[in-house]
Structure 1
Amino acid sequence: MKGTILIVDDDAAHLRMLQTVLGSLGHAVIPATDGSEAIGIAGEKPCDLILMDVRMTNVNGIEALRRIKAINPAIPVVIMTAYSSVDTAVEAMKLGAYDYLTKPLNFEEMKLVIERAMEHLHLALENRSLKQKMGLDKSFAEIIGSSRAMEKVVEMARIVAPTEATVLITGESGTGKELFAKAIHANSERGKGPLVTVNCAALTETLLESELFGHEKGTFTGADRQRNGRFVQAHKGTIFLDEVGEIPLAMQAKILRAIQEREIQRLGSDEVQHVDVRIIAATNRNLEEEVRKGTFREDLFYRLNVMNIHIPPLRQRMTDISLLAQHFLQKYVQKNRKEIKGFSPAAMDVLTHASWPGNVRELENVVERAVILAMNPYISEKDLPQTLTAGSPVSSGAQPAPGALGGKSLEEIESQAIKETLEKTEGNKSEAAKLLNITRTTLNNKLKKYNILS
């Protein structure tokens, strides 16, 4: 397998020799003469492997390895060391180095180690993709996310799916509520029946009643024939009431009867029709608050809220952003017939630090736009909207606002750093301790000291 290799060595002759050898094997080579330079390159340019010497004048290989792994934990790093410093190579392995080579180098051994490392990286990416899809039933595979928050939501949805329970899916606009509704329906006993979706926010009260329950011929202007409503169309299947919080108060009583009794009447008809449907509803509103304000019926709320599935906004599951971005990249690269391999580190950094008020839908739109605009094999931060990049420290080179921590004690700053790191790692103490460069025992002591819940 061929790829881009970053070679780090402060011996100019040795560096040139490695460039020649690896170049002759078909690899693209990026040279660096010091650990600090390697750290900068790893944060800016995509590379498949790093081949790095341990002994360097300014920043040595061990420190560079530690900092590169903080930027990109997935990249394989192969350490070069003299026979006399094998203990240092073992230390590097503990810090996450993929392997080490002893000097003078055996080129055949080097070739095998590099091939094995690249194959390992390729398989890891492939396995992550397969693991994302396998083990999830049917259309749950379309729900992208490996964060703890999403794993909990998906597990809840998988438990609820085979039942007949009414489900209320809540969450901000763009979080994927309809995707969950489809997955729940597909994995239920009604999966072979219809899934009928009604956007309750898009219709006036009269049109909504006709849409849901149907009408008789001549009931209103334009009703030139009898028409069955969505409840009847969903018979033996599922009806998905999207944006149910937008239903006018007067209409809510009729919805309540349909849910309670599973019977409806067409507009202009006295005939009662029994329907066998499952109800899934979704809203971006806080219905409990709407009940307190008197704009949503309390009895309807409790009928809908038998099982509640809340989808967290994207800003609360930042670890899912890279997975989602890669998923959308593949989708739109194929759709637009473009040859784009991925995102530059700087572009991915912008994506993972954006606030995403429009959630997954906004991220998808941004990636689609970037695929269309990109002229290079990797999407750069220049291909992203200015609204994302303007405030990005990475793209603008801006420093944190002066005085942002001013007026705080060192203990307050330390407590804040621990809290933010735990949020970033979703409560994973081992990972948080690594990022903070302290032991897990020290982290636990500080959690007790600052009374931080874990």
Structure 2
Amino acid sequence: MLAMSSPRRLLVVDPYEDCHQLLPELQKMGWSVDSCSLTSVVGRSCDVVLFRLLSEHLEHPAPLKEMISRSGAQWIAVVSPEVLKIKNVGDFVYEWFFDFHTLPFDVARVQVTLGRAFGMARLRDQMLNHVDTQTHELLGESRSVRELRKLIGKFAPSESPVLIRGESGTGKELVARSLHRQSLRHDQPFVAINCGAIAEHLIQSELFGHEKGAFTGAHQRKIGRIEAANGGTLLLDEIGDLPLELQANLLRFLQEKHIERVGGVNPIPINVRVLAATHVDLEAAIHSGGFREDLYYRLNVLQVSTAPLRELHGDLSLLANHFCRIYSLEAGRRPRPFSEGALIAMANHAWPGNIRELANRVRRGLILAEGRQIEAADLGLDVPTHTVLRMDTLEDYKHRAERQALCDVLHRHATNLSAAAKVLGVSRPTFYRLLHKHQIR
């Protein structure tokens, strides 16, 4: 039934003599078999790759590592007893292959190994397809993210300014890029400037540009960020850090729709949509005299807010796996799943640095992980001793299954706990008791 509904595609790389008797048997079992050379793997459509690992591959592993990293399939190493004796071959197979098979071939054992690899490939495809169905980079199924995507879809076609608010590290620039990508200006420039990361004496030149000789060191004309964004979208990130003097100049530009470069006298008409982002409480800044009220109302025509990671219930593992796939290529390692302890540690962490902190911890964990899974320690997180699960009793397995069921139902019904309890067939008080028992926030 599995082979009929989901064709199982096997790619044999650099076929060898021992395969001739094996492949017909696999074809009878429902496998669609193809073959190619190692240099032709990328671009071939398959679920599982069967590869004969030889000593020369271990001596010069870079081409093989690149192909495995880029192929996206699950690789099975076929090794001879002689190759298994080579120093560090076990570490190499453990790092880069889903599993291995020792020659001579045993059809029954090969079938089991390939079946497990195919199952993992299908799980991977389901996750990737789920991500690919999103038309933007704002991943997540929590209520906050769904509402944010809906709001962006409404605001994107407008020409009105948008004020994006949220804590540091919550993806405000990502929201701005999504607004631009879905707007009528999507084929025009998107230019971002961080108003809090540029020295105060340089901000005016960065925003408006300058003419040659406008000041000491101005050896040639410079086009500012506003002018560079002409026709497209300008993001003023951390607008709350913009000095008051520059706030007046910015307000004048928003009112008059033209700029003058520093040292220039000719007005330059500008057609740009302005987005602004801040983690600062602008209302409080207005009250204290640190931000102009008239500029605030110019920028705050439409408003969106990004939620902190601690409020994105059910999205944590999705985002963590997303970053794991991204940074696996950078680290030159295969993506790894997160252990039970790592998931518990992440669920209990406060994430003061939000999504940026999660990305950095996953990046670190992928580099430090020594086993097949990323552990809490690899992420720099601690697991409470009473939540560490042993795998030696039936009760432990029941505990794991119960927790997994809670996580699964919360992923679907994070905004309706009554519905989540109903799906599990328990009362709402019992559901809350289970959440407390498993320390799921």
Name the structure 1 match of 2:224.
Answer: 229
- Judged with a 3 Å threshold, the aligned counterparts in structure 2 of structure 1 residues 356 and 395 are, in CA distance, closer, same or farther, namely farther
- Judged with a 3 Å threshold, the aligned counterparts in structure 2 of structure 1 residues 339 and 132 are, in CA distance, closer, same or farther, namely closer
Q: Is 1:389 aligned to 2:378, yes or no?
A: no
Name the structure 1 match of 2:199.
Answer: 204
Structure-to-structure mapping, 1:111-130, within 5 angstroms: 123=122, 126-130=125-129
Name the structure 1 match of 2:186.
Answer: 191
> What is the TM-score with the length of structure 2 in the denominator?
0.63
* Equivalent pairs, count: 304
Name the structure 1 match of 2:214.
Answer: 219
Shift of 1:206: 2.7
Q: Which has the higher contact order (CA 8 A, sep 6+)?
A: 2
- Judged with a 3 Å threshold, the aligned counterparts in structure 2 of structure 1 residues 377 and 220 are, in CA distance, closer, same or farther, namely same
C-alpha separation in 2, matches of 1:282 and 1:293: 20
C-alpha separation in 1, matches of 2:156 and 2:292: 26
Name the structure 2 match of 1:380.
Answer: 375
C-alpha separation in 1, matches of 2:209 and 2:361: 39
Shift of 1:313: 0.3
Aligned equivalent of 1:144, options 139, 147, 151:
139
Shift of 1:125: 5.5
- Judged with a 3 Å threshold, the aligned counterparts in structure 2 of structure 1 residues 391 and 217 are, in CA distance, closer, same or farther, namely farther
3-state SS of paired residue (2:187): coil
3-state SS of paired residue (1:342): coil
Name the structure 2 match of 1:311.
Answer: 306
CA contact (8 A) 2:421 2:428 kept: no
- Judged with a 3 Å threshold, the aligned counterparts in structure 2 of structure 1 residues 367 and 438 are, in CA distance, closer, same or farther, namely same
Name the structure 2 match of 1:133.
Answer: 132
Shift of 1:287: 1.0
C-alpha separation in 2, matches of 1:205 and 1:127: 49
Structure-to-structure mapping, 1:5-404, within 5 angstroms: 123=122, 126-134=125-133, 136-137=134-135, 140=136, 142-385=137-380, 388-389=381-382, 394-395=387-388
Structure 2: where are the runs of 5+ without partners?
Answer: 3-113, 391-409, 432-441
- Judged with a 3 Å threshold, the aligned counterparts in structure 2 of structure 1 residues 396 and 208 are, in CA distance, closer, same or farther, namely farther
Name the structure 2 match of 1:430.
Answer: 419
Shift of 1:428: 3.6
C-alpha separation in 2, matches of 1:432 and 1:294: 50
C-alpha separation in 2, matches of 1:268 and 1:380: 57
C-alpha separation in 1, matches of 2:196 and 2:359: 23
Shift of 1:190: 0.9
Shift of 1:182: 1.2
> What root-mean-square deviation, in Å, do the aligned CA atoms of Structure 1 and Structure 2 show?
3.2
CA contact (8 A) 2:336 2:366 kept: no
C-alpha separation in 1, matches of 2:181 and 2:310: 28
C-alpha separation in 1, matches of 2:386 and 2:268: 61
CA contact (8 A) 1:169 1:311 kept: yes
C-alpha separation in 2, matches of 1:391 and 1:285: 34
CA contact (8 A) 1:322 1:348 kept: yes
CA contact (8 A) 2:376 2:383 kept: no
Shift of 1:194: 0.7
- Judged with a 3 Å threshold, the aligned counterparts in structure 2 of structure 1 residues 132 and 375 are, in CA distance, closer, same or farther, namely same
Shift of 1:382: 2.7
C-alpha separation in 2, matches of 1:196 and 1:184: 13
Structure 1: where are the runs of 5+ without partners?
Answer: 2-114, 398-420, 444-454
C-alpha separation in 2, matches of 1:197 and 1:185: 11
Q: Which amino acid aligns with 1:375?
A: E
- Judged with a 3 Å threshold, the aligned counterparts in structure 2 of structure 1 residues 425 and 218 are, in CA distance, closer, same or farther, namely same
What whole-Å deviation, never above 9, does each CA across 1:105-146 have from its counterpart, x for those lacking one? Answer: xxxxxxxxxx99997886566334323322x33xx1x22211
C-alpha separation in 1, matches of 2:128 and 2:355: 18
C-alpha separation in 2, matches of 1:153 and 1:392: 37
What whole-Å deviation, never above 9, does each CA across 1:215-261 have from its counterpart, x for those lacking one? Answer: 12222111111222111111111111111110011211111111122
3-state SS of paired residue (2:196): helix
- Judged with a 3 Å threshold, the aligned counterparts in structure 2 of structure 1 residues 371 and 128 are, in CA distance, closer, same or farther, namely closer
C-alpha separation in 2, matches of 1:195 and 1:244: 17
Shift of 1:339: 3.1
C-alpha separation in 2, matches of 1:157 and 1:368: 29
C-alpha separation in 1, matches of 2:363 and 2:317: 15
- Judged with a 3 Å threshold, the aligned counterparts in structure 2 of structure 1 residues 246 and 383 are, in CA distance, closer, same or farther, namely same
3-state SS of paired residue (1:349): helix
Q: Which amino acid aligns with 2:248?
A: A
